[in-house]
């Protein structure tokens, strides 16, 4: 297990882990674009894009989080929800 975790802080002071930031991006795509129908099933736009063209999807994700501040936070701090307090102490 890593000693630190990278977190992202938006301009609105929302705090995301890397996994949560990517989920946020995926949700934004799904809310912005219609679902894709394939073989009688519907899939979220973000999921289809990430599977069909993972390189373009990753580049769009990196552009999405480009303006966010990143911090390497000790794992214990992140687990205890003391992230903003830790960041403010830097």
Q: What is the 3-state secondary structure (H, E, C) of the chain?
A: CCCEEEEEECCCCCEEEHHHHHHHHHHHHHHHCCCEEECCEEECHHHHHHHHCHHHHHHHHHHHHCCCEEEEEEHHHHHCCCHHHHHHCC
What tokens were used for 19? 């996994």
Q: What is the pLDDT along the chain (90 residues), one digit of tens a residue?
A: 458 778 898 888 888 888 899 999 999 999 999 999 989 999 999 999 999 999 999 999 999 999 898 888 776 666 656 666 666 666
**pLDDT score, position 11:** 86
Quick one: 64 exposed, middle or buried, by C-beta within 10 A (0-12, 13-18, 19+)? middle
């Amino acid at each position: 297990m890593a000693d630190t975790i990278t977190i992202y802080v938006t301009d609105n002071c929302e705090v995301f882990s890397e996994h949560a930031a990517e989920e946020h991006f995926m949700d934004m795509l799904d809310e912005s674009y219609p679902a894709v129908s394939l073989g009688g099933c519907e899939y979220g736009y973000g999921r289809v894009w990430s599977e069909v063209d993972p390189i373009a999807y990753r580049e769009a994700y990196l552009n999405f989080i480009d303006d966010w501040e990143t911090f390497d936070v000790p794992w214990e701090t992140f687990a205890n929800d003391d992230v903003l307090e830790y960041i403010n102490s830097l």
